[in-house]
């Protein structure tokens, strides 16, 4: 049992309940109580934490990532998405299970250290001869100790079929579907506090055939798991889709059965008003990736419009090859700034940004019944932000300090009642070791690409 006392609490519950001086009691991996004033002292043995000068929020939820890309940061820094991908595909050809494990471990560590308790990772590169890279990803998740939505991605449309990736990087359609179903059987858990869930994720319309898109949707629905892909990220994609299919990417997705409450789409930058309405009406989720969209110069997603239309929207860090920082908390501020650049100062406030990074993400990943807010009975995934010190001195509103101020260090990161980060230090792995393995993995990939 853990008692967090004398802290500000932003519960992110339906009513937006906050306590300027309050407490949270955690028992058996769940929230036992949350409220104002001093914590009731339990009679059972417990760990007492004086969390004054801290803000407790739900753990942040990252709805889109490509963890393997930690091994290829800093390349093609001034390119469009298609130029960036065609530069990186040959490097990713060298990916294997050792590189994936090192990259994913470092990426998950960075996420944990920036407040993330659940990360969705879209792994879509499976080079022949690379060993079991999906297994390496899941094992990295277990090592670092945050929850993982492991998305078994795929590509089957190489250049000889009009796709963007080289032929030597794509899988056969049927083989990709069989491997995806195997990943679900091996790793998916339906428990409401599951540490690992599996979703189905053909990569993007320009790297996946129509057959794989529809086959993946059938497979996911047969197995009752979620569906994920990239959509409407650039105008290049839209132009290609119009030329090939005579419709926009959103219309194409709908034709293939790819809108619905069990689907979430990464980026959704280029949406016309009809597309926004369809995503809202079908409750299709969006993973909004503001930093990556800025790094690749793809545009500003219509997040305010999507929320107003009733579509769930969460935040995504995206792969570290298009977001070298790789941290999650800073995405709260990026999302707020981008919404305001598009829609003016009333388009988003700090609390809505925090909502997107927590409850919005839980909705997008279909886990809002157990995660995303601090309420009795819910799973105890919490970030305890340390707002002591000069950087936060005198900022009256702790939520504004979190979203608009310097990204704060963590006093604690708690996943299902287990402490993963204490006083800014990751407890589950040595960051020196992670850095050493990551450097070796990056060098190995770049060497292989020469």
Ligand X SMILES: Nc1nc2[nH]c(O)nc2c(=O)[nH]1
Residues making contact with ligand X (CB under 6 A): 66, 81, 85, 203-204, 207, 230, 233, 292, 318-319, 322
196: three-class secondary structure by DSSP: strand
Interhelix angle 431-449/97-113, rounded to 10 degrees, is 140
Whole-number Å distance between alpha carbons of 201 and 132: 17
CB of 88 to ligand X, least distance (A): 8
Closest chain position to ligand X (CB) = 204
CA 196 to chain centre: 14
Cβ proximity to ligand X: between 290 and 417 the closer is 290
- Cβ proximity to ligand X: between 10 and 293 the closer is 293
Q: Is 123 exposed, middle or buried (0-12, 13-18, 19+ CB in 10 A)?
A: buried
Name the residue among 75, 110, 173 with its Cα closest to residue 331. 110
Closest distance to ligand X from the beta carbon of 441 (Å): 17
C-alpha closest to that of 351 among 4, 3, 2, 12: 12
Residue whose CB is less far from ligand X, 96 or 233 = 233
Minimum Å gap between C-beta 358 and ligand X is: 23
Q: How many CB atoms neighbour CB 90 within 10 A?
A: 14
Distance in Å, CB of 297 to ligand X, minimum:
11
Give 122 or 352: the residue with its C-beta nearer to ligand X.
122
Alpha-carbon distance of 324 to 106, in angstroms, equals 12
Output the smallest distance, CB 78 to ligand X, in A: 15
Cα dist from 363 to 279, 283, 284, 369, whole Å: 14, 10, 10, 9
Minimum distance, C-beta of residue 385 to ligand X, in the bound complex (Å)? 28
Smallest separation (angstroms) from ligand X to the CB of 400 = 30
Please state the closest distance from residue 164 (CB atom) to ligand X, in A.
7
Scanning 188-248, the segments in alpha helix (DSSP H) are: 210-223, 235-245
d(CA 305, CA 219): 31
Three-state DSSP state, 16: coil
β 418-422/410-415 pair status? antiparallel
Is 114 or 268 the residue whose CB approaches ligand X more closely?
268
Least CB distance to ligand X at residue 136 (A): 18
Nearer to ligand X, 254 or 318 (CB): 318
DSSP notation for 298-312: -----HHHHHHHT--
Residue 150 or 382 having the CB closest to ligand X: 150
Q: Are 124 and 155 in contact (CB under 8 A)?
A: yes
* Residue 370 CA from chain centroid, whole number: 17
* Closest to ligand X by CB, 7 or 136: 136
Burial class (CB in 10 A: 0-12, 13-18, 19+), 78: exposed
**In this complex, which beta carbon is closest to ligand X, that of residue 57 or of residue 234?**
234
């Amino acid at each position: 049992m853990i008692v967090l006392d004398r802290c500000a609490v932003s519960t992110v519950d339906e009513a937006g309940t906050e306590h300027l001086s309050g407490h949270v009691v955690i028992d058996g991996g769940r929230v036992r109580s949350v409220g104002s004033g001093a914590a009731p002292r339990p009679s059972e043995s417990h760990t007492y934490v004086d969390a004054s000068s801290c803000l407790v929020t739900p753990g942040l939820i990252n709805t889109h990532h490509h963890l393997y890309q930690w091994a290829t940061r800093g390349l093609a820094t001034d390119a469009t998405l298609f130029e960036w991908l065609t530069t990186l595909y040959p490097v990713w050809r060298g990916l294997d299970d050792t590189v994936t494990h090192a990259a994913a471990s470092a990426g998950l560590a960075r996420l944990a250290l920036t407040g993330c308790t659940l990360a969705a990772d879209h792994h879509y590169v499976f080079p022949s001869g690379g060993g079991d890279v999906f297994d390496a990803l899941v094992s990295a998740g277990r090592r670092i100790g945050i929850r993982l939505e492991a998305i078994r991605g795929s590509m089957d449309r190489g250049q000889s079929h009009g796709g963007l990736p080289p032929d030597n990087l794509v899988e056969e359609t049927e083989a990709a579907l069989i491997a995806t179903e195997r990943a679900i059987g091996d790793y998916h858990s339906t428990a409401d506090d599951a540490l690992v869930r599996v979703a189905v994720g053909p990569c993007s319309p320009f790297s996946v055939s129509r057959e794989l898109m529809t086959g993946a949707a059938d497979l996911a629905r047969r197995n009752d798991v979620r569906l994920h892909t990239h959509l409407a990220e650039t105008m290049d994609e839209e132009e290609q889709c119009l030329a090939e299919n005579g419709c926009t990417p959103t219309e194409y997705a709908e034709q293939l059965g790819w809108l619905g409450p069990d689907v979430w789409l990464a980026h959704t930058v280029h949406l016309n008003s009809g597309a926004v309405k369809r995503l809202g009406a079908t409750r299709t989720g969006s993973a909004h990736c503001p930093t990556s969209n800025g790094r690749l110069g793809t545009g500003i997603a219509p997040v305010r419009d999507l929320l107003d239309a009733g579509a769930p929207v969460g935040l995504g860090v995206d792969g570290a090859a298009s977001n070298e920082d790789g941290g999650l908390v800073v995405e709260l501020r990026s999302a707020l700034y981008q919404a305001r650049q598009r829609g003016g100062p009333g388009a988003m406030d700090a609390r809505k940004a925090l909502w997107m990074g927590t409850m919005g993400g839980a909705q997008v990943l279909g886990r809002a019944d157990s995660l995303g807010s601090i309420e009795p009975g819910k799973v105890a995934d919490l970030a305890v932000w340390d707002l002591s010190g000069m950087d936060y001195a005198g900022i009256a509103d702790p939520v504004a300090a979190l979203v608009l101020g310097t990204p704060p260090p963590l006093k604690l990161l708690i996943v299902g009642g287990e402490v993963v980060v204490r006083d800014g230090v990751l407890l589950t792995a040595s960051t020196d070791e992670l850095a050493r393995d990551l450097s070796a993995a990056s060098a190995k990939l770049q060497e292989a690409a020469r």
